[in-house]
Amino acid sequence: MHLHLRDEARESERRTPITPADAASFIEAGWQFTVESSAKRIFSDSEYRDAGCNIVAPGSWTSAEGDTVILGLKELPETPPALANRMIHFAHIYKNQFGWREELERFKNGGGTLYDIEFLVDANGRRSVAFGYWAGWMGAALALWRHLARAQGHDGPYSSLQSFESRMQVQQEIEKLAGSAATLPRCIVVGAKGRSGSGAIDALKIAGCEITEWDKEETVDLDRRTLLAHDLLVNCVLMTGPGLVLATPDDLGSAGANITTISDVSCDPLSEYNPLPVYRAPTSWERPFIEIGRNGSGNPVELTAIDNLPSLIPREASEDFSSQFAPVLLRFDHGEEWQAAKQVFAEKMKQAFG
């Protein structure tokens, strides 16, 4: 098997699906591993070279031999128009997003196959690999950092975010602010039992906050008044259908509503199933927080909803993901996860082109 790890097209994307240490294990198993040079990847070219990988120029995947498997994380650049290889990455096109048909047409033109990482699932439909824990951790940490900073007259992570070399940079800021805080926020995590929820809880524990943990059992008959009585809300619910609404704009300003900071880790504002219909578009690294209203006491309510949170802590996110992904990748492409992803690709191709 020949794997080719491409340089990411997004300038802000520093994560990698396979670390140098895990790449070395594939080479030991007899796989050929080619890695494109990258000036932004959290692990250096030399680390991959020392692991036994062959280092090549960025973008050289476009001329790879037909049996080479092209591995990446995020979406491909717009060219070439024909894709002939088997390709592994998060494509974000299977929910009929803008340009989905045009992206699949590139595979039709070249005869290649997409194995979308999001659709690597087991027989029970559970995802085999995900960045969920670090999405929850980073989303909650940002909200907590901003909440504590604002209470003490500081900006905190209010604008112009850049990726951190490690989570300790964020943790140290929170610990410093928590140490000088007059009071700590009462926090609630909804979707607490999932990967993202567990990450969010661990982040909030850095400051020693009081944390309420809700999951499906607590949201069947939602006590919105109790939810809004908290100071900081982290939403980690994965919505698969309509029904759950955590808060509306009117709810935020109702009597007894104390919420001043919201982190929507799930970040699905464009979906009709969005449980937080209080904003219309994701926030960004340039502007992580937006004001969405006033609470019951008249204080501003701020929200963060960044759709690529794990990219902010690329080292921990990559190490965690790679440890999950490596054993799955060793089963390429006969494992049940790969067959599931291949089936979804075939179904979407049929939907697009008949």
Distance CA 51, CA 26 (A): 10
Q: Which of 2, 40, 89, 92 is catalytic?
A: 92
Query: Which parts of 152-270 fold into alpha helices (H)?
Result: 167-179, 195-204, 216-219, 224-228, 249-252
Distance CA 200, CA 192 (A): 8
Name which of 240, 304, 249 is nearest 272 in CA terms.
240
Length of the chain: 354
Q: Which of 74, 108, 193, 342 is catalytic?
A: 74
Beta partners for residue 189, in sequence order: 213, 234
230 given a catalytic annotation: no
74 given a catalytic annotation: yes
Query: Which parts of 51-192 fold into alpha helices (H)?
Result: 100-110, 132-151, 167-179
Distance CA 73, CA 118 (A): 10
Pairing of strands 186-190, 113-116: unpaired
**Residues labelled as active-site residues:** 74, 92
